[in-house]
Amino acid sequence: MWTKKALFLAMMLVSSPLLAQQNAAQDSRPHPSPVVPNGKVFQEILDKLSLTPEQKDKIKALRKTHRESMKTLRAQADKNRLELDQALDKNLESDVLKTAFENFTSARQAVDRQRFQQMLDVRAVLTESQRQLFAQLRPKTSANSGEVMGD
């Protein structure tokens, strides 16, 4: 079990720069993607924005709409993760492992894109001052490590 995890970690470390290069070629931004707060943190931020009842209703409807697609995307990512784990367990050829890894990372990216779209949709409901406060409250990443920094 330990060797599987070590192999997976090694694959992640080797693949990360390659994926970053691919993403950089597709996306001219020199910095990491913005951090999109998870559900609990996102709700805590929304609670601090002094939303009007109309804004609360719109955001609730947006989150409900996104919830269904997120459920589907997460299920696909989980399935791809399981397939990757199974491929690692079977000690398959590198090409098969790479394909399984790409499928998994693509599915995770789809989840991240959906989360980001939800954040954009919610921001569209906010006033300018609420968007500024939202920007201040959301978690930040370190420019060097990509790790989320605390407030």
Q: Is pLDDT of 17 > 80?
A: no
Residue range(s) defining the domain that contains residue 137: 38-141
Average pLDDT over every residue of 104-125 = 92
Number of domains in the chain: 1
pLDDT attached to residue 6:
53
Question: Does any domain span residue 73?
Answer: yes
CATH of the domain at 133: 1.20.120.1490
What pLDDT, in 10s, does the model give residues 29-81? 333 345 566 667 778 888 889 899 999 999 999 988 888 899 999 999 999 99
Question: Does any domain span residue 147?
Answer: no
Are 104 and 12 within 8 A, CB to CB? no
Question: Does any domain span residue 46?
Answer: yes
Name, in order, each residue with C-beta under 8 angstroms of 15's C-beta and a sequence gap of 6 or more. Answer: 98, 101, 105
- Burial degree of 28 (CB within 10 A; 0-12, 13-18, 19+): exposed
Closest CA to 143 of 27, 11, 29: 29
Confidence of residue 139 (pLDDT cuts 50, 70, 90): confident
Question: Does any domain span residue 150?
Answer: no
Confidence of residue 99 (pLDDT cuts 50, 70, 90): very high
Cα 141 to Cα 9, 45, 60, 132, distances in angstroms: 22, 17, 27, 17
Confidence of residue 125 (pLDDT cuts 50, 70, 90): very high
Would you give the DSSP letter of residue 12? Answer: H
Q: What percent of the chain has pLDDT over 90?
A: 44
Q: What six digits make up the tokens of 149?
A: 């920094």
Question: Does any domain span residue 21?
Answer: no
Question: Does any domain span residue 17?
Answer: no
Question: Does any domain span residue 146?
Answer: no
